[in-house]
Amino acid sequence: MAELVIGIGVPHTPFFPGIAKAQGTTAQVTVLFDQVRRELEAAAPDLILMFTADHFVSFFFNNMPTFSISTFARADGPHELSRMMPQYSVRGHPLFAQGLLRYGIENGFDLACAEEMKLDHAAMVPLHFLTPRMNVPVVPIYIKALVEPLPRAERCFALGQMIRNYIDNWQGAERIVAIGSGSFSLEVGGPRMGQINRQWYEFVLERLRNGETEQLVRAATEQAMLAAGNTGGELLLWLALLGTLGRCELKFIEPHASPPDAPRDAHAFAAWNPVS
């Protein structure tokens, strides 16, 4: 039987690989990703499920699914011209992904399917730091976190719960890690660029730290998330992760935000153990 062995939450800021390369092993972002990577390697996963959001690389306004399962055998990225990292090739797990697609539809989720994908920094920055050899297959699960109207937080959490049920009933023997990746307060290219909603950021951190998932799901309205920046909906990726984890034990959560005198973004690094 398959087993969910660890849950991980990280940011995917596109300039992090450049910072890590320039500043080396002492860079804060390097230290934090290394801490998460050690947890992932200790869990010895055979498969990565990644809750992510496409930044207009494979999806655009004319074709923007709310939830989409990637069933590719192989994909590569990142495809942005401004990338600060190598381009990688990533293996998928079509059998697992196609089964999840069918299971989700049978259980009330009208999921889209992408048999081919151009991966962007949201998927590739975490993999660059966590699995640099790209030796673990990846099934990305896309959530429309950047385009209004956002899906409801309750629905994203329920998506994670459905995926956990699928994992628990999957007949394979894979050890599975679930990753949610995104920021809690960040404005890209908009009028509030360079501002952080620190009140919301601290609220989210405190709920995650205390395991108050229900309170966080209730508070994560579209209005509240977008008040934290035009990418504030990336919190939905963490909520889907928490839905997948179910009962869990927080191993650690490390805040990571730009300094008050140069605000830019606000996010965290975290790891959980599922509790059976």
Query: Band of the pLDDT at 261, cuts 50, 70, 90?
Result: low
| Total count of residues recorded for the chain | 276
In which region does residue 246 sit, left (phi positive, over 0), alpha (psi from -120 to 50) or beta (all else)? left
Averaged pLDDT for residues 101-113 = 98
Per-residue pLDDT, 13? 93
pTM summary value? 0.96
Mean per-residue pLDDT of the chain = 95
* Nearest residue to 275 (alpha-carbon basis) of 242, 227, 253: 242
Q: Give me the number of domains the chain comprises.
A: 1
Q: Say if strands 138-143 and 67-70 run parallel, antiparallel, or are unpaired.
A: antiparallel
Structural domain that includes position 150? 3-274
High-pLDDT (> 90) share of the chain, %: 90
Report the CATH number at residue 184: 3.40.830.10
Averaged pLDDT for residues 113-138 = 97
Going from the C-alpha of 49 to that of each of 26, 126, 217, 257, the distances in angstroms are 29, 12, 21, 26
The token duo for 23 is 């500043």
Per-residue pLDDT, 258? 75
Averaged pLDDT for residues 31-50 = 98
The answer to which of 85-89, 104-108, 206-210, 254-258 has the lowest mean pLDDT is 254-258
- How far apart (Å, rounded) are the C-alpha atoms in residues 175 and 40? 11
Per-residue pLDDT, 257? 81
* 53-99 pLDDT per residue, tens: 999 999 999 999 999 999 999 999 999 988 889 999 999 999 999 99
* 172-227 pLDDT per residue, tens: 999 999 999 999 999 988 888 888 899 999 999 999 999 999 999 999 999 999 99
Indicate whether 263 pLDDT > 70.
no
Per-residue pLDDT, 120? 97
The answer to which of 38-52, 121-135, 248-262 has the lowest mean pLDDT is 248-262
Helices (H), ranges, 113-177: 121-130, 153-169
Return phi, psi of residue 186, to 5°.
-165, 135
Per-residue pLDDT, 195? 86
- How far apart (Å, rounded) are the C-alpha atoms in residues 121 and 124? 5
High-pLDDT (> 70) share of the chain, %: 98
Indicate whether 259 pLDDT > 80.
no
Per-residue pLDDT, 262? 59
Per-residue pLDDT, 37? 98
